Structure 1
Amino acid sequence: MRLQELQEAVRQELKEYYPLTEVDSFFYRLAEDYLGYTRFEVSLHEQEEISAKAKENFFSALKRLKNHEPIQYILRKTEFYGLSLAVNPTVLIPRPETEELVDLIISQHKDRQDLTVVDLCTGSGCIALALANHLKSAEVTGVDISTGALETARYNAAQLQIPVTFLEKDVLTGSLDIKNVDILVSNPPYVRNLEQKEMSANVLNYEPHLALFVENEDPLLFYRYIAEMAKKTLSPTGVVYCEINEYLGKETKQLFKDARFSMVEVKKDLFGKDRIVKAFL
């Protein structure tokens, strides 16, 4: 089978499951991983015969894609803020909105030295590692309750050779033995169970619910604990940044105001949705 024929086979196999643009995106990602060809190089090698092993890899991936398994889990990696990160079902796949959170923090603190940064609910370590990579003199710690997530985060740190400390703690019950924190950041679970009907099968069936969902009756549970932890750990000039549920911007802002934070802002993402809360003591 030639590469051009393989691409057409991928389109035919997946056309009933995904839009064509997404199918082509899958193909090019698989081609880069299994063949080492960029999108441009694929066009130069259309008539090349595909090895039996590569063909086997492609069709194995197609079977998993038909079951709506995320391609990031199939390839066991994703890109986040210029970093190649290992991902697996113990961690969420980082979203573009979280890159916006990281970008905001970096833009506002890039000229500061010797920062102490804590990332709560760190997951794959994407936020902690991106911040440590750009805020070079910062001392960064990532915290999570999941042993599997922390194994992934530590693996990413080792592979990227970025110095981040990872701690296993439950944000909802554990205290943090770090003082004078300059930046406390978190992308905690914030999707209400009632919102599951809006989510696609690849998220519901494969990504860790522990890192996604909260009860409908108390959707701001994590933010309440984050606010309390911030009051105990932040330096006098410290700041909290949290990714938030787009439907609960006003409520999350009010929670931090009720917790006696002096200045609380809600920032919108590129799609105009409430996405980040920033709060000062």
Structure 2
Amino acid sequence: MKIKEYRAHFIQELTPLYDAGEAESFFYIILEEKQQLKRIDLALHPDLVFSAAEIVVWNSILAPLKQEIPIQYLLGKTSFYGLDFIVNEHVLIPRPETEELVDWMLADNRKKQHATTLKMLDIGTGSGCIAISVAKNLPNATLFAIDVSEKALATAKKNAANNAVNVHFIHQNILEAITLSAVEGIDEKFDIIVSNPPYVRNLEKEEIKKNVLDNEPHLALFVEDDDALIFYKKIAELAQENLTENGQLYFEINQYLGAAMIDLLQQLHFKNIELRKDIYGNDRMIRCTR
């Protein structure tokens, strides 16, 4: 079968679930991953064909896509901030909004790293995408990363090795930490603390796409409706003791809770609080200093 003919079949099979543009993007992601071919190759060589064996492989990917399993889990990888990351059912799939948070931190701290060695802590690291991206772009920084899930940490460690960076990974339930200095493996203060903790309230589950709700780890996604800022409050309290003077605290946040986050940080006596919107126009990240 010609590849362009299979492409039409592939898109048609997925369009009841995804729009045609997204379905087509899936096709070309898989084409590059499985066949090492790009869109331009197909345009220049429209008579390229799939063998029967290749069609079997493609159908084995198409079937779970029709069940709304994320393509990143099917391929076992994704791209984040120009780097490749292993992803699986134990970690969230990194989002473009989180890339914006990383970009903000890097813009704030690129010049500082030449004057001193920055120490950063990533709380709830998941795949390690934030810590690893910072380590890759600020080579003089010392990175620590915490997660409650040992399986997530195992994935993050592989990602750090694959991207040739050094991150100190620590297994810890941050809600159970009395102080950060009491956490095994931490004996210093940090210039930067960052977290993208669980922040989706149960009442917002109806807004979550089925492919996310049915496949990504709920432990990393959801909080109770009546205590939506539980992680932010705990982390901000710990940050007051474990940030250096004028140290920075960054969060990715629930788009509906920007005002509540500002109020929380003001109550905890942080200064220079700045709320930013993401590429979609939603309140998504916040920065403050100790």
Provide the TM-score with structure 2 as the length reference: 0.94
Matched residue, 1:171? 174
**Aligned partners of 1:5, 1:62: CA distance in 2, in Å?**
15
Q: Secondary structure at the match of 1:172?
A: helix
Moved more, 169-178 or 90-99: 169-178
Matched residue, 2:135? 132
User: Within the alignment, does 1:147 sit opposite 2:129 as a pair?
Assistant: no
After superposition, residues 37-48 of structure 1 pair within 5 angstroms as 37-48=37-48
CA contact (8 A) 1:123 1:153 kept: yes
Aligned-residue CA RMSD (Å): 1.1
CA contact (8 A) 1:257 1:263 kept: no
Matched residue, 1:77? 77
Name the CA shift for 1:221/1:136 in 2 (closer, same or farther; >3 Å): same
Q: Secondary structure at the match of 2:284?
A: strand
Q: CA deviation at 1:164?
A: 1.2
Matched residue, 1:31? 31
**Aligned partners of 1:104, 1:61: CA distance in 2, in Å?**
36
User: Within the alignment, does 1:120 sit opposite 2:130 as a pair?
Assistant: no
**Aligned partners of 2:53, 2:194: CA distance in 1, in Å?**
44
Out of 200, 217, 220, the position equivalent to 1:191 is 200
User: Within the alignment, does 1:237 sit opposite 2:246 as a pair?
Assistant: yes
Provide the TM-score with structure 1 as the length reference: 0.97
Q: Deviations over 1:87-107 (max 9, x none)?
A: 011000111110010000000
Moved more, 57-66 or 3-12: 3-12
User: Within the alignment, does 1:98 sit opposite 2:98 as a pair?
Assistant: yes
Q: Secondary structure at the match of 2:256?
A: coil
Moved more, 177-186 or 96-105: 177-186
% identical equivalent positions: 44
**Aligned partners of 1:235, 1:76: CA distance in 2, in Å?**
38
Matched residue, 1:228? 237
Instruction: Name structure 2 gaps, 5 residues minimum.
Output: 181-185
Out of 206, 211, 220, the position equivalent to 2:215 is 206
CA contact (8 A) 1:142 1:166 kept: yes
Q: CA deviation at 1:225?
A: 0.6
Matched residue, 1:7? 7
| Number of residue-to-residue matches in the alignment | 281
**Aligned partners of 2:188, 2:266: CA distance in 1, in Å?**
22
Out of 264, 267, 275, the position equivalent to 2:276 is 267
One-letter amino acid of the counterpart of residue 162, structure 1 = V
Name the CA shift for 1:32/1:278 in 2 (closer, same or farther; >3 Å): same
**Aligned partners of 1:268, 1:2: CA distance in 2, in Å?**
44
CA contact (8 A) 2:42 2:48 kept: no
**Aligned partners of 1:42, 1:183: CA distance in 2, in Å?**
46
Q: CA deviation at 1:275?
A: 1.0
Instruction: Name structure 1 gaps, 5 residues minimum.
Output: none
**Aligned partners of 1:66, 1:14: CA distance in 2, in Å?**
6
CA contact (8 A) 1:244 1:277 kept: yes
CA contact (8 A) 1:181 1:238 kept: yes
Q: Secondary structure at the match of 2:227?
A: coil
**Aligned partners of 2:29, 2:98: CA distance in 1, in Å?**
22
CA contact (8 A) 1:122 1:144 kept: yes
Matched residue, 1:56? 56
One-letter amino acid of the counterpart of residue 34, structure 2 = Y
Q: CA deviation at 1:48?
A: 1.9
Q: CA deviation at 1:180?
A: 2.1
Matched residue, 1:250? 259
**Aligned partners of 1:260, 1:181: CA distance in 2, in Å?**
18
